[in-house]
Chain A
Amino acid sequence: NAGVTQTPKFQVLKTGQSMTLQCAQDMNHNSMYWYRQDPGMGLRLIYYSASEGTTDKGEVPNGYNVSRLNKREFSLRLESAAPSQTSVYFCASSEWVAAFFGQGTRLTVV
């Protein structure tokens, strides 16, 4: 039982490049989330998916897109990376209890 798995763990992008962060959970949870955490800051919600087939914007959605591929997988795409998107990204999933987090992706945009 792996819980929530994110890939990659580290990534360096050049400004303007695109990439997709992958997230998968094996706990059969309906809700999944993408957060970003800047140094010394809290968790800011980018997008969330309440169930398979639905996605909604969170607090900071600009510059990102998401896909809820199936119940297990929820990906986050940066179409044209900007230095302001340098951050640690966490995926999480939840059901009727607390959210469980992936190990995070440390993204640097240069």
Chain B
Amino acid sequence: GENVEQHPSTLSVQEGDSAVIKCTYSDSASNYFPWYKQELGKRPQLIIDIRSNVGEKKDQRIAVTLNKTAKHFSLHITETQPEDSAVYFCAARLLSGGYQKVTFGTGTKLQVIP
């Protein structure tokens, strides 16, 4: 099965700085990589995703990069703001036997210091 590792587990940055969260996956058959943001006491919500046929995707201050050869992908947040403080999860989707399964990383708690 798929295994997703996520680093770092906690990250503190000054407001306005950039934040980078990295994930690696084990199964080269995984082909879709979403990122979730979970605010305190709320459900995880999708913020950006990338498919395996794309190397980079950007949405305003958020970007995700994918290196299929190395089997790792990263979330980049630029010009961080206090409202970016949350726990971020990466995930990898594997298609197996015609079915799909999503495996999550262990999460990164991001703190943006005003």
Contact = CB atoms under 8 A, between A and B. Distances in A.
Interface of A: 30-31, 33, 35, 40-43, 45, 48, 50-51, 54, 90, 92, 94-104
Given A33-B102, A42-B105, A42-B106, A102 B89 contact: no
B61 interface: no
Interface residues of B, number: 23
Nearest to A95: B100
B interface, over-half SS: strand
Chain A interface, DSSP helix/strand/loop, else mixed: loop
Contacts, number: 60
B45 interface: yes
B104 interface: yes
A30 B93 CA distance: 14
B112 interface: no
Contacts of B6: 42
